[in-house]
A = this chain, B = another copy of it.
């Protein structure tokens, strides 16, 4: 894990202390530390601390400034989140691309990401400080993201960008499919047993065994699982009813 970049989260005129606390928690979950509050309507308080839930250190260390200019004064790169379409033609990035660019820029110096007030967003003058507008993909029919939710998504994307290249599905840990010959040995055993119990008609075996083969190949059992399956087959061949109670036999059909 690389160390996290110097990207500060800047809340502009936030209204609800609960949201400020939730933003602090979202930041800390993703490994970001530097919170800036621009002219908050109320300072972080008990409600903020409660919603921060363990990220109180981020709240206590938050920088409080009077305007966006002060918040980004030493930043080499500024991005502004924006829900609404703006008439001004500004470079736009989605959250993923913005996180990637922000991480790259943070190698040169501090980077700031601006989040507007809950109801009113950022003014055009505030957006003027930004190099890019960030748009988070949302349903256009219900586009109003909670402030902490927007911060959560950006911080998450920053963490993903730092961890790049993305891990992707990759192999299942600790799952080592058994070699084909072990699987085939099981399938032959299965065929013998289901023939013996009268389920497989040896005169028309093909389609059924092909289906079972396809099913178990898809499952890719490991050695341990094959051992269990073969144990079941052996128990069918040589039932040991002592532990399991009465064994249903041909008589009680």
Contact with B along A18-40 (1 / 0, CB 8 A): 00001001101111000000000
Task: Considering the complex, give the chain B residue whose CB is closest to the CB of A190.
Answer: B232
Contact between B244 and A198, CB atoms less than 8 A apart: yes
Number of identical protomers: 2
Q: Please measure, in the bound complex, the distance between the C-alpha atom of A17 and the C-alpha atom of B163, giving whole angstroms.
A: 34
Contact between B246 and A28, CB atoms less than 8 A apart: no
Contact between A156 and B159, CB atoms less than 8 A apart: no
Task: Considering the complex, give the chain B residue whose CB is closest to the CB of A219.
Answer: B219
Using A55-B142, A142-B54, A166-B96 as known contacts, say yes or no to A202 and B244 having CB atoms under 8 A apart: yes
Q: How far is the CB of A186 from chain B (nearest CB, A)?
A: 12
Contact between B225 and A211, CB atoms less than 8 A apart: yes
Contact between A173 and B89, CB atoms less than 8 A apart: yes
Contact between B228 and A211, CB atoms less than 8 A apart: yes
- Additional A-B contact list (10), CB under 8 Å, known A31-B138, A202-B245: A29-B144, A53-B144, A89-B172, A101-B169, A152-B152, A196-B247, A197-B239, A197-B247, A201-B243, A211-B228
Contact with B along A49-80 (1 / 0, CB 8 A): 00001110000000000000000000000000
The answer to whether the Cβ of A41 comes within 8 Å of any Cβ in the partner chain is no
B-facing residues in A220-244 (Cβ within 8 Å): 220-221, 224-225, 228-229, 231-232, 235-244
Q: A-side interface residues toward B, CB under 8 Å? A: 4, 22, 25-26, 28-31, 53-55, 89-97, 101, 136-139, 141-146, 148-149, 152-153, 156, 159-160, 163, 166-169, 172-175, 194-202, 208, 211-212, 215-216, 218-221, 224-225, 228-229, 231-232, 235-250, 252-253
Interface CB pairs A-B, < 8 A, 16: A4-B139, A28-B142, A30-B139, A54-B144, A89-B172, A97-B167, A136-B156, A137-B156, A194-B232, A197-B241, A199-B231, A202-B243, A211-B228, A215-B228, A218-B219, A239-B250
